[in-house]
Structure 1
Amino acid sequence: MFRLDWLNAQISVNQFVIILWIILTAININKAFHIDDTFHLLAAEWVAEKPTDPMAAKINWSDQPEAIFLGSQPPLYFYLIAFFIKIFGTGEIGLHLLTAIFLFLVLYFYAKILREINVKQPKVLLTLFAFCPALIVNQNLMIDIPILSMALGCTFYLIIAQQSGKLSNYLSATLFLTFGLMMKFTLLPFLVVIGLTAILSGHYKALISLIIPLAIMIGWSSWSELQYGVSHLGIKTNFGFSTNKLLGFLGTTGAISTFVVIPFYTCFKSQFTKWLIVDVLAILIICLPPVYFDIINQQKFSAFLNYIFIASGSLVLLLFMWQTAKLKFSYQLNFIRHHMLIITLIIFGLAAFIVLFAPINATRHSLLLIPFFIILFHKEIDASVGPILNITLAVTIFLGVALGVSDWLYADFYRNAAEEISVKKQPDQKVYAAGHWGWQWYAYQNGWEIYATNGDHKIRKDDIILIPKNASKQHIDKALKLDTIDFYTEKPNLLTFFSGKSYASMYTTFGDKPAWNLSTQPIDTIFICKVNQPITADQED
């Protein structure tokens, strides 16, 4: 059997963690900088030079440079990247070692949690989590792997604290939470989880441990108010519920939740359920060649996938509610002192926070939920054997690797473009690069000026502007007349067929756009444009 060949090999769970860490790190280590990496790099370079004024850096991440204190991300992670820049420089391999450290902590603490709650098949759960497409794809300089490691560290010590009642364990949990909060406020629901766990377990004195994260957050927010005139805790967010946000969350979660097959089959165990799972998978596999050769329209198939992902995400949430009710019925009053209460509170808190506060949906957000969903269904997974388990493992590993390699090539496109594009210019000509994500970093490294909408009046006739077609970019004034003189692109191949390149769909998902799809389109195209007519003084007015 697929599972018995290697998951049942005579190696310890700790050794298995090391193997998984090596595999995932190897996929990531020389990956080009991608999506929000440039923002973190530029912020960290500023912090390295001016550590006492961390949030004053101005970064062009919209139409023109803006101070980063207008955002809501605390600076701790910028300091960590700055430290690695001082040691290794700004090369991809050196900086991705920082990501690798946090990735190891993610796998390490996850394995410790599985051991603490007596999971029977920890290597199966570790595999389902480690090869989750969101975990593989989001190995970059963004904040999500680091805060996931802090979340799992906090959870591990909180589970121990619930049983032991020791203040030292609560303090350990809150320390991990504090580090996580000073990287990003997404972990705020953990404050409530820790407080409720202490109260329901009768450990009232343990509430004093919450003073640490609360004091540091209030202190940071007060200093930010004094230094920059804004309090990060008071910055406006995209708070509010909408159907589109919910659909985006469900679709994003469903697109990366291959594990859901096992609890679905267990809850509705029958030959019909088994054949339904096999038939859906068979239909998807059969569709691959006609989609690749465009016999089946790729846009229509993408819409079809989106419906499947939304259905899958809805199933995850329905099973979560069913499982929570079942646990409450099984343990009755003891449920308030059971470790699964912690898991359900974390899932509910994070899901609500993402749906209500996240400005966009992205796999990096849903990634925070995946390890806890898998733990919630660990008894079903522990009891699972045979074809359904093997199919789930095989699909998870294939999809994780396929999307991981595709995303590696996606990121690498912009590094290649910056290396390959050669612009012959006169001494008085300037080269501007529009566009963000990793492309902006490599353009910056090439010495090209980063285009700013409020500076387009400075652009003169015959200047060059490099414009990506499918990347986030600055608004370019229509009064600026441009002639396309050349372009750079790369041919798609089988390795990019499983794709998240639809305007970075693995990083930005909407209710009508799936997190990943099948595509034979080029990753992107960089247009090399010459200014034919600059903006005149009259047009500036």
Structure 2
Amino acid sequence: MRDSTILVLIWLVATACNLDKAYHIDDTAHLEIAAWITAHPGAPMSGLVNWSDSARPIHELNQPSLYFYILAGWGRIFGYGETAMHALQSLFTLAATLFFFGIARIVVPPYAIILTALLILGPAFVVGQNLMVDIPILACSLAFFYLLLKPDVRSEHTRYTLAALTASAAVLMKYSCLPLLPLLLIHIVARKQLRVLYALLIPLAILTAWSLFNYFEYGSVHLLDRPSQARTFERTSSMGLRWVIALGSIAPFSVLVLADTLGRMRKWTVSRRAFTIAGALVSIVVATLYLRNRQPYPHALLAALFVVNGAYLLVAAGLALRAQNPRPAPLLYLWLAAVSGFIVLFAPFLATRHVLLSVPPLLLILGTKLPARPRPRAAFAAILATVFLSANLVIADWRFADYYRRQAPVIRAALPSESTVWFTGHWGWQWYAKKNGMRQIDLRRSRPEPEPGSRPGPGDYIVRPLAIHQQEIDPELRLELHDVISDPPVERPRFNTANGSASFYSAHYLPWTINREPFGSIEIYRITGVTTMAGPPPD
């Protein structure tokens, strides 16, 4: 089968996993920002989005606006339905597929199609597509490195001009792509192409223009206003551990590297083999005991396996430096270190989608360590493990997202049609609750006085999902429990990306697990009275 045919199949499979998926996690905030931009294209940061207790200006959120402009333009033409918007995301999936394959053909030609399948069909990619910005910035990052690594270009001026524009686009989608800019400088200097240093002025000029645009819109600079994280040893080490756990949880491709390691072990002495196996077992035990204080025992064991898997891949990548032919390009290590280090040091939390940005350079580095000719059985086993894990996590996350899409119309239809129904909770639920006529609770902390009719009152209902991020309910309201909607009991263990909340998207120590936990109950309250109407709660 031709490579082009396989690439199309990979893209179609990844697209099918996301095309009609319910809006999930940050999708709703992105859609609401896009809707604001559609109506106010000259003031993208001035709208209000309720993503905490009350509506706040968009400029208080972390992302710049380029991706939201793209969503707004697409939505204006094709509408804001799931299939239409996920079709847009599919274009970024296609770009990521083609650019990674192009890089892999340059770095490790025999493994190009195998590594592409392992990346695009991997759980972090197919599960994490949704409508969030991580796949678009991954596509831009891959385009950037493809331009730097491509041997035949029209000219070095073309190479670096296009790379600078691509890096600028990535940064204007998400600031976590800022490491691309020093990497651009390093690449220019290392290749002694000093005559094209002017290319660095392109992202600097674009970021300056963006900052001035911010200043004239709302009086400050969005990039400089981002909240900083305390870089203490405790926090950095904790984020580093979570990063390794997240990597291990989404890397079934380690099977490919493990097959090579086992092949090499046949040449080792018995004592060396025994020492290696004992070391792996001891590592699992030690990691389990350490994590036991943070997770129940079965979860601690699973997290320990993730730690060992992630650490094994990092050690294997380090040992690839010893490879004689071919040796990984230094740019790959800089790529891996830059994006990983930025996330560990500066990200407010750790999620599998953050680790996804590190997977392409890691796969490419590991590919240089493998035998010159791919071993069909090892490649098949790695792809099979990847497809198995991804399929189960795709189904789990689809159910998680779809639960709230299904419940919103059912709940609204069950309540009196003439009643006012309020809701708490964000993520995809927020989109579907609003779509079905419910009103979002807003504590109005950002406004001196509530607008008439903007607060719940006697006779109204409040719908409160328990397992998602949500705002508080005004303690002045006297509530009577009206009904509880519960997910049906789970008869047998299943893969779960929620794990009490949404661990795949904001992991503490376990991005996914296998259990019988339902998605969480939804409580419905009737307001029987108000203690006082003294005004909104203070900040």
TM-score, shorter chain, exceeding 0.5: yes
Q: Match for 1:486 among 483, 487, 490?
A: 483
Kept in 1, the 8 Å contact 2:211–2:223? The answer is yes
The one-character-per-residue Cα deviations of 1:47-70 (angstroms, maximum 9, x if unpaired) are 011111111110000111000112
Kept in 2, the 8 Å contact 1:405–1:495? The answer is no
| C-alpha RMSD of the superposition | 2.8
Pairing of 1:402-441 with structure 2 (within 5 A): 402-421=392-411, 422-425=413-416, 427=418, 429-441=419-431
Instruction: Evaluate the alpha carbon distance shift between residue 64 and residue 539 of structure 1 in structure 2; reply closer, same or farther with a 3 A threshold.
Output: closer
Distance 1:273 1:92 in 2: 53
Which structure 1 segments of 5+ residues have no match?
1-10, 284-297
Kept in 2, the 8 Å contact 1:492–1:523? The answer is no
SS at match of 1:314: helix
Partner of 1:504: 502
Partner of 2:270: none
Shift of 1:409: 1.2
Partner of 2:344: 355
Larger CA deviation: 22-31 vs 240-249? 240-249
Distance 1:249 1:339 in 2: 23
Shift of 1:83: 1.1
Partner of 2:386: 396
Shift of 1:30: 0.5
Which structure 2 segments of 5+ residues have no match?
267-272, 285-294
Kept in 1, the 8 Å contact 2:494–2:515? The answer is yes
Kept in 1, the 8 Å contact 2:114–2:379? The answer is no
State the one-letter code of the partner of 2:390: G
The one-character-per-residue Cα deviations of 1:363-382 (angstroms, maximum 9, x if unpaired) are 11011111111111113345
State the one-letter code of the partner of 1:58: L
- The TM-score normalised by the length of structure 1 is 0.86
Kept in 2, the 8 Å contact 1:484–1:529? The answer is yes
Partner of 2:60: 70
Partner of 1:532: 528
SS at match of 1:485: strand
Distance 2:274 2:59 in 1: 52
Shift of 1:493: 5.2
Partner of 1:6: none
Kept in 2, the 8 Å contact 1:433–1:448? The answer is yes
**What percentage of residue pairs aligned between the two structures are identical?**
30
Q: Match for 1:135 among 125, 130, 143?
A: 125
Shift of 1:317: 2.8
State the one-letter code of the partner of 2:45: M
State the one-letter code of the partner of 1:487: V
Distance 1:27 1:60 in 2: 29
SS at match of 2:462: strand
Larger CA deviation: 441-450 vs 482-491? 482-491
State the one-letter code of the partner of 1:376: I
Partner of 1:224: 214
Instruction: Evaluate the alpha carbon distance shift between residue 316 and residue 227 of structure 1 in structure 2; reply closer, same or farther with a 3 A threshold.
Output: same
Distance 2:422 2:459 in 1: 11
Q: Match for 2:361 among 372, 376, 385?
A: 372
Q: Match for 1:245 among 235, 239, 253?
A: 239
Larger CA deviation: 485-494 vs 193-202? 485-494
Distance 1:114 1:261 in 2: 19
Is 1:168 paired with 2:158? yes
Instruction: Evaluate the alpha carbon distance shift between residue 535 and residue 67 of structure 1 in structure 2; reply closer, same or farther with a 3 A threshold.
Output: farther
Partner of 2:322: 326
SS at match of 1:425: coil
Shift of 1:134: 0.5
Relative to its length, the structure with more helix (as a share) is 1
Shift of 1:118: 4.4
Instruction: Evaluate the alpha carbon distance shift between residue 61 and residue 232 of structure 1 in structure 2; reply closer, same or farther with a 3 A threshold.
Output: same
Shift of 1:85: 1.1
Instruction: Evaluate the alpha carbon distance shift between residue 312 and residue 165 of structure 1 in structure 2; reply closer, same or farther with a 3 A threshold.
Output: farther
Partner of 1:515: 511
Kept in 1, the 8 Å contact 2:461–2:526? The answer is yes
Q: Match for 1:303 among 283, 300, 305?
A: 300
Kept in 1, the 8 Å contact 2:457–2:530? The answer is yes
Instruction: Evaluate the alpha carbon distance shift between residue 495 and residue 348 of structure 1 in structure 2; reply closer, same or farther with a 3 A threshold.
Output: farther
Shift of 1:406: 1.2
Number of equivalenced pairs: 503
